[in-house]
Amino acid sequence: MKYLFQLLLLIIVGNATASSSCTNSTKVSFYQEDGSLHVNYHVSAQVKQLELVANNKVSTAIEGVKGTQLTASDNQRVLLTTKDAGRFDIKLKPLGKYINATYTPYIDLGTAHGVHINSVLPFSILKDGQRHKIDHECATLSIQRADQTQKIEMQDGFVLLNFTATSTQGSQPPVTYYINENMPAWIVSEIKGNVTKALRYYAAELGDLAFPVQIMMSFEDSEHPFFDGGVYANKLVIRFGGEAYKQFDQGAQRHLQQFVYHEIFHFWTKPQQSWIREGGADYAAAIAMLDVGLLDKQQFQSKRAEASATCFMKFGHGANFLAQGWRGRYACGLAVLSRFLPSKSDFFKYWKTLDKAGKNDLKVLSNVSQKQYPRLISQLNSQESASAALKTLLGPIQYQQLPSNFNGTSAIFVHLMAQHCQGVVSFHTNHNVVSLYNQEACSWPLEKLVYEVKALNGHPLSSKPVELLTSYISRCQSERKAVLSGETFKVELPCAW
């Protein structure tokens, strides 16, 4: 293994030398300090302005250091200006892990690894008001670690250290895996197996992909187990960390299957409305997993029921349904799409009709009725009426089919409190006791500051979730109230369903 690695390194050094035909050759060097990644650029042309391709999300992590300043940025470019012609220095603040995984830049020179790093590569220089492109072949990359300089090569937009690349032979689409050498073997084979099956499955339904796919998986030392990743253009980046993942674990395996089937579907998604894109990927994953035998019918039904219950109970109040980045989009998207497109063929047929502009996204609602369209949409965006609109979209909640681990108590109190406290959730659950906190936002007839609730409508909170939910919903519908009781009190709070 060691021999192989040295051999790879030799090839890499050979390739990394900038071609002599480059007029704007650039040396880019990375080093890490206090968790931040530093990037130094040395451009052969003595210019004072350098452009990177990076979106706004990444630009918030960039700080100029020494004489470099970040002078402009939009959703595609970041402009750096320097006092010292030809030299630019930036520092990237450590980012949240979700941004790291999907949007770059992600690098940890401490414990290995790889980077999907397009965003810090020099893109062009500005000279006499003119933009001159820098080809990636004209950039020489190196990493500084422990007083050593190691030259590196970009491969498919990844800067890689201690990774092994393998390509599948003759598959459609071609798939290249970049696998960190730390990666536990069971995870590698689990991911590869699911990726192959998911690609084949979706291609059969939606047509072949027109591009090759690259998949990078890395494993890091971490005190706490973590797992994240995402799709970016034609790349899927998956990161793991922590001892817990080193041995096979069935829970982790299930999570991985769901993750891979969801993410691979994103190769067939476009910049649609985010609830359709994410809910669609969750729904597609459930359909595919049912078909290939990773879920049985019962599990598939419970997924749908759980999504609609979660959507309604958690997000029915104060939801801004059409906002990008709204956190209810997975559950609500799955619930709405699966209600209006209940069969596999309905769903895939619908998906093929989606256009790039996202104009057709809401066609799915035409099953409700074309007339209701505008009203529904405006209701969904209003704090007061979102729950009524969601009721129309979700239909009756199939709470009888909820899985036994669905957190019924939490769902109930989210729903109840949101009605009383203007969307502010003010409770805490702990071992079958719910502590309600009296807040200014709440309009309830309570006198104490904290109430320790132990029963709902006479049912102890330790009852089965389905029992509690059934009682809560039917009492809200028939008497428009919920009865909460504890050691020394019994109160009635009005509720609507």
Q: How far is the CB of 262 from Zn ion (least distance, A)?
A: 6
Give CA–CA dist 72/381, Å, rounded: 33
**232 or 300, CB closer to Zn ion?**
232
Hey, is 60 helix, strand or coil?
A: coil
Residues 435-474 that bind Zn ion (CB under 5 A): none
Residues 200-259 that bind Zn ion (CB under 5 A): none
Hey, is 233 helix, strand or coil?
A: coil
Q: How far is the CB of 468 from Zn ion (least distance, A)?
A: 31
The interface mask with Zn ion, positions 367-396, x = CB under 5 A, is ------------------------------
Hey, is 94 helix, strand or coil?
A: coil
Give CA–CA dist 187/195, Å, rounded: 12
Count of residues near Zn ion by CB under 5 A? 2
Residue among 171, 157, 153, 309 at smallest CA distance from 236 = 157
**118 or 258, CB closer to Zn ion?**
258
Give CA–CA dist 252/120, Å, rounded: 33
3-state DSSP helix/strand/coil % of the chain, to nearest 5: 40, 25, 35
**186 or 232, CB closer to Zn ion?**
232
**114 or 230, CB closer to Zn ion?**
230
| CA angle, residues 240, 242, 247, in degrees to nearest 5 | 90
Instruction: Identify the residue whose tokens are 């829970």.
Output: 251
Q: How far is the CB of 354 from Zn ion (least distance, A)?
A: 15
Q: How far is the CB of 116 from Zn ion (least distance, A)?
A: 17
For residue 343, what are the β-bridge partners?
none
Segments of 44-112 assigned E as strands = 49-53, 62-64, 68-73, 77-82, 87-92
Q: How far is the CB of 142 from Zn ion (least distance, A)?
A: 34
Q: Which two tokens stand for residue 414?
A: 């989210």
Residues 85-124 that bind Zn ion (CB under 5 A): none
Q: How far is the CB of 339 from Zn ion (least distance, A)?
A: 20
Q: How far is the CB of 149 from Zn ion (least distance, A)?
A: 38
What is the per-residue DSSP string for 259-309?
HHHHHHHGGG--S--HHHHHHHHHHHHHHHHHHTTSS-HHHHHHHHHHHHH
Query: What are the distances in angstroms from CA 12 to CA 9, 116, 148, 162, 433?
Result: 5, 17, 16, 12, 60
Give CA–CA dist 241/113, Å, rounded: 12
Q: How far is the CB of 266 from Zn ion (least distance, A)?
A: 6
Q: How far is the CB of 148 from Zn ion (least distance, A)?
A: 39
**277 or 314, CB closer to Zn ion?**
277
**262 or 304, CB closer to Zn ion?**
262
Give CA–CA dist 435/473, Å, rounded: 21
**104 or 379, CB closer to Zn ion?**
104
**123 or 275, CB closer to Zn ion?**
275
The two counts, helices (H) then strands (E), for the chain are 13, 26
Give CA–CA dist 469/411, Å, rounded: 9
**143 or 215, CB closer to Zn ion?**
215
**191 or 281, CB closer to Zn ion?**
281
Q: How far is the CB of 277 from Zn ion (least distance, A)?
A: 7
Q: How far is the CB of 240 from Zn ion (least distance, A)?
A: 18
The interface mask with Zn ion, positions 265-304, x = CB under 5 A, is -------------x--x-----------------------
Q: How far is the CB of 279 from Zn ion (least distance, A)?
A: 9
**100 or 463, CB closer to Zn ion?**
100
**48 or 235, CB closer to Zn ion?**
235
What is the per-residue DSSP string for 390-457?
HHHHH-S--GGG--TTS-HHHHHHHHHHHHHTTT---EEEETTEEEEE--TT------SSEEEE-EET
* Edge-to-edge strand list for the sheet holding 450-453: 427-430, 433-437, 450-453
Give CA–CA dist 89/443, Å, rounded: 55
Hey, is 111 helix, strand or coil?
A: coil
Note the residues at the interface with Zn ion (CB under 5 A): 278, 281
